[in-house]
Amino acid sequence: MRRTASPLSLILTGLGVFLLVLAAMLAWYVEPHAKRTPINIDVTTVFKGKGSYFDTEKIKTVHNQNLTVTRQVRGDVKDSDKSGKAVWDVSTSVDPDKSLPAADPHDSLQWTLERWVTDRKTNAPVHCCGEEPYFEGEAYLKFPFDVEKRSYRWWDNTLGATVPLTYRGKKKIQGYEGLRFTATVKATKTGTRQVPGRMVGLKKSQVIADEYYANHGIELVADQRTGRIIYAAIGPRKTLRAPGSKKDSTVLLDSERIAFTPKTQRDQVDLADTDSTKLKLVGTTLPIGAGALGLLLTVAGLVLVVRGRPERSGDGGGGRHREGAEPGSPNPDTSPTALQHTTM
Which tens digit of pLDDT belongs to each residue from 240-288? Answer: 999 999 999 999 999 999 999 999 999 999 999 999 888 776 656 666 6
Residue 101 is given by DSSP the state S
pTM of the model: 0.77
Nearest one of 113, 119, 43, 40 to 77, comparing CA atoms: 40
Element containing residue 322 per DSSP (H, E) = none
Which amino acid, one-letter code, is at 2? R
Residue 114: C-alpha distances to residues 72, 160, 164, 196 (Å) = 10, 13, 22, 29
The arithmetic mean of pLDDT across residues 86-109, rounded, is 87
Which tens digit of pLDDT belongs to each residue from 287-335? Answer: 666 567 766 766 666 676 667 655 555 544 444 444 444 554 455 444 4
- Position 35 scores a pLDDT of 82
Separation of alpha carbons 138 and 118, rounded Å: 10
Separation of alpha carbons 255 and 237, rounded Å: 6
- Position 316 scores a pLDDT of 47
Separation of alpha carbons 256 and 51, rounded Å: 7
Nearest one of 289, 170, 186 to 235, comparing CA atoms: 186
For β-strands 152-156 and 176-196, DSSP reports them as unpaired
- Position 312 scores a pLDDT of 58
Residue 31 has pLDDT above 60, yes or no: no
Which tens digit of pLDDT belongs to each residue from 143-191? Answer: 999 999 999 999 999 999 999 999 999 999 999 999 999 999 999 999 9
The band of 100, judged by pLDDT with boundaries at 50, 70 and 90, is confident
- Between these two residues, 339 and 6, which has the higher pLDDT value? 6
Number of neighbours of residue 275 by Cβ within 10 angstroms: 19
- With 0-12 / 13-18 / 19 or more C-beta atoms within 10 angstroms meaning exposed / middle / buried, residue 243 is exposed
- Position 338 scores a pLDDT of 41
Which tens digit of pLDDT belongs to each residue from 47-70? Answer: 999 999 999 899 999 999 999 999
- Position 344 scores a pLDDT of 35
Element containing residue 182 per DSSP (H, E) = strand 176-196
Which tens digit of pLDDT belongs to each residue from 112-121? Answer: 999 999 999 9
Residue 19 has pLDDT above 60, yes or no: no
Which amino acid, one-letter code, is at 85? K
Which range has the worst mean pLDDT, 20-34, 96-110, 245-259, 288-302? Answer: 20-34
Residue 41: C-alpha distances to residues 75, 90, 119, 158, 271 (Å) = 5, 11, 15, 24, 11
The band of 5, judged by pLDDT with boundaries at 50, 70 and 90, is low
The answer to whether residues 163 and 218 touch, using CB atoms and an 8 Å cutoff, is yes
Residue 11 has pLDDT above 80, yes or no: no
Question: Please, what's the b/e burial string for 150-172 (b: 16 or more CB within 10 A of its CB; e: otherwise)?
Answer: eebebbbebbeebbebeeeeeee
Segment of 95-109, 131-145, 326-340 carrying the highest mean pLDDT = 131-145
- Position 284 scores a pLDDT of 67
Residue 127 has pLDDT above 50, yes or no: yes
The arithmetic mean of pLDDT across residues 75-86, rounded, is 94
Question: Which residues are within 8 A (CB) of 314 and not within 5 positions of it... i.e. 6 or more apart?
Answer: none
